[in-house]
Structure 1
Amino acid sequence: MTRIANRMAGLQQSTIRSMTARCEAVGGINLGQGLCQVAPPSSLLEHGTARFEELNHSYSYARGDAGLLEAISAKLAKDNGITADPANQIVATVGATGAFTATLAALFNPGDGILVLEPCYGYHLSAIRLFELTPQPVRLAAPDFRLERDSLRAAVTDRTRAIVVCTPANPSGRRFDREELGHIAEIAGEHDLLVITDEIYEYIYYGDQPHLSPGSLPGLAERTVTISGLSKSYSIPGWRLGYVTAPAEILAPIQVAADTLSVCAPTPLQQLARYALALPDSYYEQLRSMYDGKRRLLADAFTAAGMRPNEPEGAYYLFVDCSGLGVSSGWEAADHLLEHAGVATIPGEAFCLNDPGTPIVRACFSVPDDVLEKTALMLEKGRS
Structure 2
Amino acid sequence: MKELSNRTATFTDSVIRRMTRISNKYDAVNLSQGFPDFDPPAQLLNSLSTIAADPKPLYHQYSITWGSQAMREALAAKQEHFMGMPIDPNQNIVVTCGSTEAMMAAMMTVTNPGDKVVIFSPFYENYGADTILSGAEPIYVPLNPPTFDFDREALEAAFRDNDPKAIVLCNPSNPCGKVFTREELTFIADLCKKYDAYCITDEVYEHIVYAPHEHVYMATLPGMFERTISCSSLSKTYSITGWRLGYTIAPAQITERIKKVHDFLTVGAAAPLQEAVVTALNFDDSYYDEVLDLYTAKRDLFCQGLDSIGLEHNVPQGAYYVMMDISEFGYDSDLEFCEDLASKVGVGAVPGSSFFREPVNHLIRFHFAKRDETLNAALENLKSLRDKIKPRG
TM-score scaled by length of structure 1: 0.95
With over 3 angstroms needed to count, the CA separation of the structure-2 counterparts of 1:35 and 1:347, relative to structure 1, is: same
How far is 1:290 from its partner? Answer: 1.2
How far is 1:224 from its partner? Answer: 0.4
Aligned length: 383
Show the counterpart of 2:390: none
Show the counterpart of 2:138: 135
Write the letter of the residue equivalent to 2:259.
Q
With over 3 angstroms needed to count, the CA separation of the structure-2 counterparts of 1:158 and 1:136, relative to structure 1, is: closer
Contact 2:110/2:166, CA 8 A, preserved across alignment: no
**Secondary structure of 2:7's partner?**
helix
Contact 1:168/1:199, CA 8 A, preserved across alignment: yes
Separation of aligned partners in 1, 2:85 and 2:14: 33
Alignment gaps of 5+ in structure 1 = none
Deviates more, 1:324-333 or 1:363-372: 324-333
Separation of aligned partners in 1, 2:2 and 2:37: 39
Show the counterpart of 1:275: 279
Show the counterpart of 1:150: 153
Write the letter of the residue equivalent to 1:104.
M
Contact 1:118/1:353, CA 8 A, preserved across alignment: yes
**Secondary structure of 1:140's partner?**
strand
Contact 2:99/2:204, CA 8 A, preserved across alignment: yes
Separation of aligned partners in 2, 1:163 and 1:348: 22
Deviates more, 1:77-86 or 1:192-201: 77-86
Write the letter of the residue equivalent to 2:28.
G
Deviates more, 1:300-309 or 1:68-77: 300-309
Show the counterpart of 2:92: 89
Match of 1:186 among 186, 190, 195: 190
Map 1:295-310 onto structure 2 (within 5 A). Answer: 295-310=299-314
Show the counterpart of 2:369: 366
Q: Deviations over 1:151-188 (max 9, x none)?
A: 21011233511000011110011111110001111111
Show the counterpart of 1:355: 359
Separation of aligned partners in 2, 1:208 and 1:52: 41
Q: Deviations over 1:28-64 (max 9, x none)?
A: 1111111232220011112221333226111111221
How far is 1:83 from its partner? Answer: 2.2
Match of 1:122 among 120, 125, 131: 125
**Secondary structure of 2:118's partner?**
strand
Contact 1:231/1:240, CA 8 A, preserved across alignment: yes
Match of 2:382 among 372, 379, 382: 379
Write the letter of the residue equivalent to 2:52.
F
Show the counterpart of 1:218: 222
**Secondary structure of 2:384's partner?**
helix
**Secondary structure of 2:238's partner?**
coil
Write the letter of the residue equivalent to 2:359.
D
Contact 1:307/1:325, CA 8 A, preserved across alignment: no
Show the counterpart of 1:111: 114
Match of 1:249 among 233, 245, 253: 253
Write the letter of the residue equivalent to 2:83.
N
Contact 1:23/1:344, CA 8 A, preserved across alignment: yes
TM-score scaled by length of structure 2: 0.93
Q: Deviations over 1:214-257 (max 9, x none)?
A: 10111311110001110000000111100001111111111100
Contact 2:28/2:343, CA 8 A, preserved across alignment: no
Show the counterpart of 2:165: 161
| Identity percentage of aligned residues | 37
Write the letter of the residue equivalent to 2:103.
F
With over 3 angstroms needed to count, the CA separation of the structure-2 counterparts of 1:25 and 1:209, relative to structure 1, is: closer
How far is 1:318 from its partner? Answer: 0.5
Separation of aligned partners in 1, 2:53 and 2:232: 28
